[in-house]
Structure 1
Amino acid sequence: MNNKRVAVMDLGTNTFHLLIAEGSADNFIEIFHTNEGVKLGEGGINKGVIQPAAFARGVATMQRFQKHIEENKVTEVRAIATSAIRNAGNGADFIREVKEKTGIQIELINGEQEAAHIYNGIKASGCLGDDNALIMDIGGGSVEFIIGNDTEVLWKQSFEIGAARLMDKFHQTDPIPVQSIKELTLYLNTKLPELFLAASKHKPSILIGSSGAFESFAEVIELEKGKKFDLKKTRVYEFDIDELLDLIERLIKSTHNQRANMEGIIPVRVDMIVVASLITIYMMQKMGLADVTMSTYSLKEGVLAQMLG
């Protein structure tokens, strides 16, 4: 039995996650798990800078994480930074300040490495089979697409079209205007030709959404049916396609207040979920995918599997 206790941090554009666990890679025991809506990209995501208020929130969150790590007597720590820190002119300053104040050394990974970790997380959740799947991880800064099955990755790429970036560009008024949706669609058409080429070659038959907005979709759907839904106890969730399409349509037409009052959408996702919905429906239509699954496992579980492996 592996009695190593490890901590993984996924430092995203919107949310910082901390997961402390022990055990084996394929059946780890969660000791502690928290996330904070840091909104590191707020006000600066498309300018390539972390704004002072967001910078301070990020450092303060890392100090809280360090306390949890100490309290839980962790033996090995990894903190992974993605799109927002990767592309910010002052990203190195952020990494330096966190190291000074907490002792945590942040690893900056590129989009390819990010996609590889996500695949490992999805694989660990057990939702991959023999058929090729298109895995989509909608982050705040970037979106990772991976085509693969339970034995191999056939193709993977990261695109800087995350929800925070798209919201900044296309979702300025609520509900989002039809014209903005058209512009967003045209924008995605110009950004994703390599994905379409890979998909026409490998022919994925299922869309797997990695955590994030997909967790909110699942939670809203189940809560509206009056069911108790525990994300912590869920690794994989298969959507009823009609329920998913109905929810996506309602989210796209909704106002900020309507979304804020929807049970199952966490505050940091209330606004981002509109463009996340649009990316999801866009991919389903473009690829002709009517089979959609959500995995609660993602980047941090992929890194965790590596650490415990």
Structure 2
Amino acid sequence: MVRAAGIDIGTNSFRLLIADLGPGKFVPSCKELNTVRLGEGLGADHLLQPGAIERGIAALAQFAGMIDHYQPRYIRACGTHALRLAANRDLFLARAHSALGFAVEVVDGAEEAALSLRGALFTGKGALEPPLLLVDVGGGSTEMIWLAEHGAPPMIRSLPIGAVNLTEAFAEIAPESLALAAMAGHVRARLKEGLTDLALPAAGCRVVGSGGTATSLGALDLGLAVYDENLVQNHVLGQGRLENIFAVLTALSSEQRLALPGLGEGRGRIIVAGAVIYRELLQLLACDEIVVSDGGLLEGILLSSLPSAAGL
């Protein structure tokens, strides 16, 4: 067994996973999530805000203590959309290096998507078999990965739409019904572009959702008071159920959404925008369900920290 760690520095959340791995073995010893909201206020000037930077460094300092305690042999930390976009990312990266004791890599959209696919297939335990379209809705971007069969090169598109930046972009439109209609139109146009590039088969495909939006929708559908990754993994969320959840969410205020059980800290602020992406996607594909994957980018980052000789 070998111990490894992965850190996902996302637009909304920072996550840490430490696990022991061996042939047929994956035993997590530490899993942490901190809702940093690094991309909050990342507007037209593309500047990380001082408060967001401080929250991020505090979260990484906390992770550093856990890494020191568990002593993983291999570690990789990856930043995604917010750090790809930020004009002042070098300031954050320098402070992150000091907090962690090692460098953070900023991965492009294609690598982020490939890592999400690797993590989802690994944690799916054989239940997630191609052909499939993996869709990871993050805070600042949505990665779509089409895998036709095992061994085939995946086709990847990274779209600049996510639960955080959509929420902020349409926040000033009132009433909310008009904001949601405008958001849906924007999302539909972006998704159409991405799906055209992927050239999916005419017969349709199975959609697998990973990331915080998908798992949160799965938890809501299951009625979980406390999130349970074992119940969420491979849960099938039907389109009709998604429509029902969306109707409930949009009937609530932002404060009421924040109080919903089963959602992570702060997820209620952005869950509607994330749900819009999946609603529009299913409608465009004429697909009637999403298979939810609890595993994805974070697990992919951890696995990618291992040398190829590890065979995992």
TM-score normalised according to structure 1 size: 0.90
Q: CA deviation at 1:260?
A: 2.1
Residue number among 80, 86, 89 corresponding to 2:87 in the alignment: 89
Q: CA deviation at 1:205?
A: 1.9
Q: Does 1:145 align with 2:140?
A: no
Deviations 1:129-169 (A, max 9, x none): 24x32211111111101111451344111111111111111
Deviations 1:193-250 (A, max 9, x none): 43231455434422111031111112122226x8x76225653211244323211222
Distance change in 2, residues 1:250/1:171 (3 Å): farther
Determine if contact 1:139/1:163 at 8 Å carries over to the other structure.
yes
Q: Which range is displaced more, 43-52 or 193-202?
A: 193-202
Distance change in 2, residues 1:233/1:193 (3 Å): closer
Distance in 2 between residues matched to 1:148 and 1:157, nearest whole Å: 12
SS in 1 for 2:235: strand
The amino acid of 2:168's aligned partner reads D
Residue number among 251, 259, 264 corresponding to 1:253 in the alignment: 251
Determine if contact 1:223/1:229 at 8 Å carries over to the other structure.
no
Determine if contact 1:133/1:208 at 8 Å carries over to the other structure.
yes
Distance in 2 between residues matched to 1:96 and 1:139, nearest whole Å: 24
Distance change in 2, residues 1:246/1:25 (3 Å): farther
Q: CA deviation at 1:281?
A: 0.7
SS in 1 for 2:223: helix
Residue number among 5, 10, 15 corresponding to 2:3 in the alignment: 5
Distance in 1 between residues matched to 2:298 and 2:219, nearest whole Å: 21
Determine if contact 2:221/2:237 at 8 Å carries over to the other structure.
no
Q: Which range is displaced more, 185-194 or 118-127?
A: 185-194
Distance in 2 between residues matched to 1:20 and 1:188, nearest whole Å: 35
The amino acid of 2:283's aligned partner reads Q
The residue number in structure 1 matching 2:100 is: 102
Distance in 1 between residues matched to 2:69 and 2:186, nearest whole Å: 46
Residue number among 292, 296, 302 corresponding to 1:294 in the alignment: 292
Distance in 1 between residues matched to 2:302 and 2:232, nearest whole Å: 17
Distance change in 2, residues 1:287/1:240 (3 Å): closer
Q: Which range is displaced more, 12-21 or 115-124?
A: 115-124
Q: Which range is displaced more, 135-144 or 243-252?
A: 243-252
After superposition, residues 1-309 of structure 1 pair within 5 angstroms as: 3-24=1-22, 27-126=25-124, 127-130=127-130, 132-149=131-148, 151=150, 152-172=152-172, 177-198=176-197, 200-203=199-202, 204-223=204-223, 230-232=228-230, 234-306=232-304, 307=306, 309=312
Deviations 1:271-302 (A, max 9, x none): 11010111111111111110211000011111
Deviations 1:75-112 (A, max 9, x none): 11110100101110111111111112331210110001
Distance in 2 between residues matched to 1:253 and 1:207, nearest whole Å: 27
Deviations 1:19-75 (A, max 9, x none): 000113753110100010011111225531110011011111111101100001211
Distance in 2 between residues matched to 1:21 and 1:196, nearest whole Å: 35
Determine if contact 2:236/2:292 at 8 Å carries over to the other structure.
yes
Q: CA deviation at 1:178?
A: 2.3
Distance in 2 between residues matched to 1:231 and 1:243, nearest whole Å: 19
The amino acid of 1:121's aligned partner reads G
Distance in 1 between residues matched to 2:35 and 2:287, nearest whole Å: 31
- Unpaired stretches in structure 2, ≥5 consecutive residues: none
Distance change in 2, residues 1:221/1:192 (3 Å): closer
- Unpaired stretches in structure 1, ≥5 consecutive residues: none
Distance change in 2, residues 1:13/1:229 (3 Å): closer
Percentage of pairs with the same residue: 26
Distance change in 2, residues 1:25/1:288 (3 Å): farther
Distance change in 2, residues 1:25/1:159 (3 Å): farther
SS in 1 for 2:38: coil
The amino acid of 2:180's aligned partner reads I
Distance in 2 between residues matched to 1:234 and 1:189, nearest whole Å: 27
